[in-house]
Amino acid sequence: MTRIIAPLIGLGFAFVLVLGLFGTITTASEPATAEHEFHLKPKPVALASNGIFGKFDRQQLQRGFQVYKEVCAACHSISLVAFRDLAALGYSEAEVKAIANQWTTEQPSVNPETGEAATRKNLPSDKFPHVYPNEVAARAANNNAIPPDLSLMTKARPDGAAYVHSLLTGYQQPSAELMKEFPNFATPEGLYFNPYFPTLNLAMPQPLVSDGQVTYADGTNATVDQMAKDVTAFLVWTAEPKLEARHTAGLASVVFLIIFIALTIGAYKSVWRNVKH
């Protein structure tokens, strides 16, 4: 009797598993959406810091900081970066002090005489201050959207640098193909179409609108693509300022392991050379 029941129980379990799998597939087959069909994968961007041998281009980082300062800093903070960290970009101590002192947003403080809230000039030891005092102020100034902090943006988003560069250069009008397939698709008022953003519409207006928007001190031609690459390189640095040291340590470790393995093989052969197997 047991020999008959056991196979039946097994068949019952198999039947339940097949039903579960079929139900999962059916549930996963949802109607196609414009976001799914027309969301584009970021385009690769060539930066000096790419790859295991990558190193930062200091001139590009300074250009990227200039783009951030003149274009992005009005809305986006880099609150995890200190002013004195800019010395790693090639700025002198005097230049770092001047940048900190002249920065538009000052540090929150307290008036020692009245105890009321106040502000003070930035010091090189200070971190870049938040653009907005709180989330309510940020939403009020940005159509109810909160501009994200950019300190770790290239580490926080899939495809990192490629995503940032593609987003900055990807603003456009919805394509004819999209409107033909999804005639009811529309970009709501106050939002902007960008196929590299997951929902296709985002609250940030196009920040880099024309060539020459920034005048580079080193004379580099400031095209929209160049500015996007430069600020992307800068944000790669803010997210991982020790990237070069990590690459150097990694390569040194690999070389050490190769030498160690070679010495180990040599020692093994030397010790067992007279032993017959």
* Single-letter amino acid code for the residue at 103: W
User: Does residue 189 form part of some domain?
Assistant: yes
User: Does residue 269 form part of some domain?
Assistant: no
Helices vs. strands in the chain: H and E counts, helices first: 10, 4
pLDDT, tens digit, 9 for 90 and up, residues 32-85: 788 889 999 999 999 999 998 999 999 999 999 999 999 999 999 999 999 999
Say which CATH number the domain at 237 has: 1.10.760.10
| pLDDT interval class at 18 (50, 70, 90) | low
Task: Tell me the C-alpha to C-alpha distance, in Å, between residue 220 and each of 50, 146, 212, 228.
Answer: 21, 32, 10, 13
Q: Report the binding-site residues.
A: 72, 75-76, 204
User: Does residue 219 form part of some domain?
Assistant: yes
Number of domains in the chain: 1
Residue 207 belongs to domain spanning? 34-57+149-247
Could you tell me the pTM of the whole model? 0.83
User: Does residue 87 form part of some domain?
Assistant: no
User: Does residue 141 form part of some domain?
Assistant: no
pLDDT at 5 exceeding the cut of 90? no
Q: Report, in this order, helix, strand and coil percent for the chain, each rounded to 5.
A: 50, 5, 45
User: Does residue 177 form part of some domain?
Assistant: yes
User: Does residue 142 form part of some domain?
Assistant: no
Instruction: For residues 70 and 86, give the distance between their C-alpha atoms in angstroms, rounded to a whole number.
Output: 16
User: Does residue 195 form part of some domain?
Assistant: yes
Q: Report the binding-site residues for heme c.
A: 72, 75-76, 204
Q: What is the pLDDT of residue 16?
A: 52
| pLDDT interval class at 110 (50, 70, 90) | confident
